[in-house]
């Protein structure tokens, strides 16, 4: 689907008091884009009450455009992620967890991802069993992403993540917490399957954009970052898939 315009945002952190807060944002996405992507931490504590508020905010827009999402670490905090997924699904949101979804010539795969660090400083599975389990979680998320991308046969592949796949988009955060913001293990599938673009959240004080080693564009769409950078525009990142070229930008002012 050449010319498909994507709108992406993450880290909404919807609470029980968020009634009426996000409906204008979703309406702005529907006005300017064909597909809306939600990159995790959609709720603040992962409760069913918060998911119900989000579903009400997004329900009208979900009837007019595809909405794809992944969960974030906040969405699993209460251990109710199954119910959060169900509630959002009933509102029309397609919640991805390693599976793919195709819209015309664009294929989407989404995973939450996990942490572990970047490059030569990536945590390795050595020593205590707890460390090995920690690394195993990052590996499992990477394998889910790779498996989903491998199954797509569309012209374009788009990845949704919560955790960052590259160090470039967490720059600006305190160095001490880099290992908890993402993992280079998520980068490999993006390069191997020539993803057109990847979106993530989680790094509220990171950088807006970066690239993988193979040049895949990666955009940090954490809402707090977008609000701070573009205070006069809706907290959305737009990206147009058009042949081999892409035009990107924040919400029009």
Contact 32, 238 (CB under 8 A): yes
Round to whole Å and give the CA distance between 92 and 2: 24
Task: Give the CA distances from residue 121 to residues 31, 45, 118, 174, in Å, rounded to whole numbers and listed in that order.
Answer: 42, 30, 6, 15
Round to whole Å and give the CA distance between 165 and 199: 9
106-165 pLDDT, tens digit each: 999 999 999 999 999 999 999 999 999 999 999 999 999 999 999 999 999 999 999 999
Round to whole Å and give the CA distance between 114 and 17: 29
Whether pLDDT at 246 is above 50: no
152-193 pLDDT, tens digit each: 999 999 999 999 999 999 999 999 999 999 999 999 999 999
In a domain, 252, yes or no: no
State what percent of residues in the chain have pLDDT above 70.
95
119 lies in which domain range? Answer: 4-241
In a domain, 114, yes or no: yes
User: Is residue 242 very low, low, confident or very high in pLDDT (cuts 50, 70, 90)?
Assistant: confident
- Give the DSSP H or E segment for 149: helix 129-151
Segment among 1-5, 45-49, 128-132, 197-201 with least mean pLDDT: 1-5
CATH number, residue 37:
3.60.21.10
Written as six digits, the tokens of 250 are 């924040």
Contact 225, 13 (CB under 8 A): no
User: Is residue 244 very low, low, confident or very high in pLDDT (cuts 50, 70, 90)?
Assistant: low
Average pLDDT score over the chain:
94
In a domain, 73, yes or no: yes
In a domain, 178, yes or no: yes
Whether pLDDT at 26 is above 80: yes
* Total of domains in the chain: 1
Round to whole Å and give the CA distance between 29 and 9: 10
In a domain, 253, yes or no: no
Q: Which of 193, 211, 209 is nearest to 100 (CA)?
A: 193
In a domain, 248, yes or no: no
């Amino acid at each position: 689907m050449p010319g498909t315009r994507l709108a992406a945002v993450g880290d909404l952190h919807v609470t029980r008091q968020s009634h009426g807060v996000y409906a204008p944002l979703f309406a702005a996405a529907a006005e300017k884009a064909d597909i809306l992507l939600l990159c995790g931490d959609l709720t603040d504590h992962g409760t069913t009450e918060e998911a119900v508020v989000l579903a009400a905010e997004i329900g009208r827009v979900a009837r007019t455009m595809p909405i794809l999402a992944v969960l974030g670490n906040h969405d699993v905090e209460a251990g109710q992620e199954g119910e959060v997924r169900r509630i959002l699904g009933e509102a029309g949101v397609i919640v991805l967890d390693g599976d793919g979804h195709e819209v015309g010539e664009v294929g989407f795969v989404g995973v939450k991802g996990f942490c572990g660090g970047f490059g030569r400083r990536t945590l390795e599975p050595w020593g205590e069993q707890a460390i090995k389990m920690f690394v195993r979680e990052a590996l499992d998320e990477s394998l889910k992403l790779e498996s989903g991308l491998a199954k797509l046969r569309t012209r374009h592949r788009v990845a949704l993540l919560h955790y960052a796949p590259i160090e470039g988009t967490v720059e600006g955060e305190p160095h001490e917490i880099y290992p908890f913001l993402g993992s280079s293990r998520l980068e490999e599938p993006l390069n191997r399957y020539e993803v057109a673009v990847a979106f993530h959240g989680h790094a509220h004080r990171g950088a807006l954009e970066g690239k993988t080693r193979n040049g895949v564009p990666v955009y940090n769409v954490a809402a707090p970052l977008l609000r701070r950078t573009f205070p006069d525009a809706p907290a959305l990142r737009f990206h147009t898939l058009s042949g081999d070229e892409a035009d990107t930008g924040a919400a029009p002012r």
